[in-house]
Structure 1
Amino acid sequence: MAGGTWKKQDKRQPGVYINVRSDMNPVTKLGERGVVAICEPLSWGPEGAISVLGPEDDYTPFIGYGKTETKARFLREIFKGSDRTAGPKQVLLYRPSGKEASRATAASDVINATARYTGTRGNDIRIAISTSGDAHTVQTLVGSEVMDTQEVSAASELVANDWVEFGEGNLTESAGIPLTGGTDGTVDASSHEAFLAALEGYMFNILIYDGADEAIQTLYFDFIKRMREGLGRKCQAVMAVTKSMDTEAIISAKNGVRLIDGSVITPQQATWWIGGAEAGASYNESLVYAQYPDAVDAEPVLTSAQIDEALTEGQIVFFREFGSVKVVSDINTLVTYSDEKNEVFSFNQVIRTVDTVANDVYKHFSINVIGKVQNDNASRDLIKTWIVGYLNEMQANGGIRNFSADDVSVEAGEAINAVVISIAIQPVTAIEKIYVTVSLTNE
């Protein structure tokens, strides 16, 4: 934890700063959040399409591995949440189509089988056959686990299951015929372009990029900027960038963590947890000093000077304190301030608040107002009444302060079918810096 004395209130790191001074002679839920999107190269699962997963869902149909397996770690980290905030409600998972990817197959006189999807996971499949007279028991195994069992008298009766599709064969006894030749292929920028094109039709809060390709990072930056400014869809992206992108739309991971099982989460992989935690946090919650579950240390450990530098560059930093690993400050990469966007826009809790208002107003008006309400004084008054009620609820929940009905105006626009709405709010943020003066007296 940062600490020390203070002369002026200019500290970068959250902490408790204490001056000891002598005054004696010296002796001694309003807006719903929680949707994450990610394009993840995988070894199994539907390709070129977005699948929707919840925290309680079985991962196997989507990625070919169960929740406890190493290949499922990215989803486990995304869904973790922090010690005081929830994880996401949904993950929009996109498996990109790998170039030159292939499906594993088994072709013999005994049986013909082809993996349902491309990828190396198909190489873990084998087909076992036991025969009794004219009856055959055909089992599909993945590793040592039986995934499907069928009783047939001929191969032509076999039906496709979640793992393989069958062809002709002369079924005979076999302990296990392996499928081979499955490959993942390669994923490039065009795969991410296809993902972003598919994602545009979905509502989400956080977009994760867990790679290090600067061209793809720029691709994501341009997409998020267009979503926020061009389409009015308020969202952010999380990635591990080497330099500040200088925007409230991008959250950057500086370092990673070491988990209790000894595995290291790199800065790129830390985007999984950051993305999930940022999406799961509400407008009245902050990730400042939020704990990363199951983490035992930062990786790498940064010095105080390095932490200050990272914060100046607008990066999320992990540090260890009192046996847990925490986020130093819940910030984004905005580091150049202006009259239009001052320092408060660098705090993600503020962005969550204003984004929540923007998304909720957008949704409400799209569903209940556009094309249904006449542009007259009475209708504009109703619109204002709804906005005021909505913001009063947000204020009651601690998301904004000092709000009154006078902070909302709804006026007729220049065009006969236009309305101009102005809303002024003061977001609330969590306490990050505590400046303390301890005065010693003789009394």
Structure 2
Amino acid sequence: MAGGTWKMQNKVRPGVYINVKGDGKPSVATPLGRLLMFQNEPLGWGKKGIIELTTASDFTALTGHKNTDEVLAPVHEALKSAETVLLLNDFDGGAKSTAKSEGVYTINAKYEGEQGNNISVSFVPAPLADGAKTRDVTVTTIFGTKEVDQTKITLPLANTEAITAAGLTKEDQLEVHNDYVDITFGAPADVTKELNAKGEYPLYTAIFNGLTQSAVNAHLTGGSNGTNHVANDMNDYLENEFYAVATTAGWDESSNIHKLLAEEIKILRENVGIKVRAVVPNVSGVAYNYEGVSTVLNGYVLNDGTVITPNIATARFAGMSASATPDQALTYAQLDDAVEASPKLNNDKTIKALSAGQIVFTTRAGQRVVVEQDINSLTKFTDTKSKDFSKNRVIRTLDEICTNTTQTFETSFLGKVSNNEFGRDLFKANRVSYLSGLESQNVIRDFDPSNLSLAQGDDKDAVLMNLYVTPVDSMEKLYVNLIVR
């Protein structure tokens, strides 16, 4: 029996001809759970740019700190709810820590910053057997007091036979690389190659003599922090990273970065079409009055007595907001590790804060701390922006529809489908199916295909789409008439 793949249905022999391929349907990416944060002071370690962090990340290797260190307090709080934190570590200048033994080794810290001064590297030779042509040396990297890497190198005696036995050539440059240091052994590669060409082996002679006589410990020094450059480059990352929410949690409220973030989020939402949101600390009561910005007024106390200040608590709500789905409201969402709000607000102050569009943590019976109401900073309502727009669940719904529609059109229709009645009907069918799915998920209600229309736009390549939707909100208020007879 014949078989194989086929391009045309023109086979002669009986058999089975199978093409294996994808269905061609592009996946629509979602930023759910992804939070963009801006490091408020130099970490003294880590790559320049975005450091992607989850609860499973090696924080020491990536940031130079434990996840519970004070400098990472906003990240620690955010990851209690966010799936991923995209931490912008942006700086100018700085120097890497180093250690050097001329002709034996040069050690450079992986990154610039003072944290590199906590690194030491030890070289411990193994016993040398009689007649051995090579000797093993264990290379251990220590960060602070913790061993973070250990590897073994094999050093040949300085002759051709030993070099070959070690699986090397005389031109090789021995190196060790890990998450903390880059180590190069011997003389510079160009010098080594030139001398080895003359029949000399300074690389292996120097290393062997320098590292096999006794244990050696090298402590790195000279690392210095650069200058924090986050505020200068923030806009570029806001526009080009993939996230649901951005936050300035951790920054002192006197910093102008909070207003800069709010302004850029508004530009992205209204001028660029990127439906992302911001969460900023706001103890001073700044009136942002925008549905894409939520502000946090107070903090809370954890089970262990730790007081989480408002500008750190902002990270917690930002993480919650980034992970919330369109069918979910964070009103009365509980903080499982908190026992009371800090400061506690009485009824009048809570009402005042909610009326000002602020996120408030409140204490409920049983030492429960909850988000009082899932709202944003929009407080002045108009014909085009009703009170519904002040509810974050509604905004998440509208953002989801906008983002999905944009991605679907760009990946499956733009430049690929003719702008005629048939092509527009294809796009309408796609959207009807998607919106019907949202209705079944209780994201929107009362959807009817007649709520969506598509027509030729002013230009031949333009499509005009009109869509009417009714977002579903959550139960938040119960009014009861209890009648006694």
Task: Specify the TM-score bucket, using the shorter chain as the normaliser.
Answer: 0.7 to 0.9
- Once the 2 structures are TM-superposed, how far is the Cα of residue 116 of structure 1 from its aligned partner? 1.0
Check if 1:119 corresponds to 2:118: no
Q: Determine which of 327, 336, 339 is the counterpart of 1:296.
A: 339
Task: Please list, as runs of the form range in 1=range in 2, the aligned pairs for 1:19-168 lying within 5 A after superposition.
Answer: 32=30, 33-40=32-39, 41=41, 42-47=43-48, 49-67=49-67, 72-81=72-81, 87-88=82-83, 90-97=84-91, 99-107=92-100, 112-131=106-125, 132=127, 135-152=136-153, 153=155, 157-167=174-184
- Once the 2 structures are TM-superposed, how far is the Cα of residue 213 of structure 1 from its aligned partner? 4.4
Corresponding residue number in structure 2 for 1:253 = 296
- Once the 2 structures are TM-superposed, how far is the Cα of residue 175 of structure 1 from its aligned partner? 7.1
Counterparts of 1:318 and 1:104 in 2: how far apart (Å)? 44
Q: Determine which of 399, 410, 416 is the counterpart of 1:372.
A: 416
- Once the 2 structures are TM-superposed, how far is the Cα of residue 203 of structure 1 from its aligned partner? 2.7
Check if 1:266 corresponds to 2:309: yes
Check if 1:218 corresponds to 2:259: yes
CA shift digits 1:78-130 (9 cap, x unpaired): 2222xxxxx43x33222111x44332233456854221112232122112232
- Once the 2 structures are TM-superposed, how far is the Cα of residue 258 of structure 1 from its aligned partner? 1.6
**Matched AA of 1:160:** H
Task: In structure 1, list runs of 5 or more residues that go unmatched.
Answer: 1-29, 82-86
TM-aligned CA distance change 1:213 to 1:70, over 3 Å: closer
Corresponding residue number in structure 2 for 1:276 = 319
- Once the 2 structures are TM-superposed, how far is the Cα of residue 287 of structure 1 from its aligned partner? 0.4
- Once the 2 structures are TM-superposed, how far is the Cα of residue 64 of structure 1 from its aligned partner? 2.8
Identity of aligned residues (%): 31
CA shift digits 1:237-266 (9 cap, x unpaired): 111133121101111111112222322222
Corresponding residue number in structure 1 for 2:13 = none
- Do 1:289 and 1:326's aligned partners in 2 also have CA atoms closer than 8 Å? yes
**Greater relative contact order (CA < 8 Å, ≥ 6 in sequence):** 1
Counterparts of 1:149 and 1:386 in 2: how far apart (Å)? 55
Corresponding residue number in structure 1 for 2:390 = 346
Check if 1:319 corresponds to 2:319: no
- Do 2:44 and 2:226's aligned partners in 1 also have CA atoms closer than 8 Å? no
Q: For the pair shown, which has the larger CA radius of gyration, 1 or 2?
A: 2
Task: In structure 2, list runs of 5 or more residues that go unmatched.
Answer: 1-27, 129-134, 157-172, 187-206
- Once the 2 structures are TM-superposed, how far is the Cα of residue 408 of structure 1 from its aligned partner? 0.8
- Once the 2 structures are TM-superposed, how far is the Cα of residue 67 of structure 1 from its aligned partner? 4.6
Counterparts of 1:31 and 1:303 in 2: how far apart (Å)? 43
Counterparts of 2:460 and 2:105 in 1: how far apart (Å)? 71
TM-aligned CA distance change 1:216 to 1:286, over 3 Å: same
**Matched AA of 1:423:** L
Q: TM-score, normalised by structure 2?
A: 0.77
Counterparts of 1:281 and 1:326 in 2: how far apart (Å)? 15
**Matched AA of 1:225:** K
Q: Which moved more, 1:204-213 or 1:322-331?
A: 204-213
Counterparts of 1:70 and 1:158 in 2: how far apart (Å)? 35
Q: Which moved more, 1:284-293 or 1:196-205?
A: 196-205
TM-aligned CA distance change 1:370 to 1:338, over 3 Å: same
Moved over 6 A (4+): none
TM-aligned CA distance change 1:299 to 1:108, over 3 Å: farther
Check if 1:237 corresponds to 2:278: yes
Counterparts of 2:362 and 2:33 in 1: how far apart (Å)? 25
Check if 1:422 corresponds to 2:439: no
Q: TM-score, normalised by structure 1?
A: 0.84
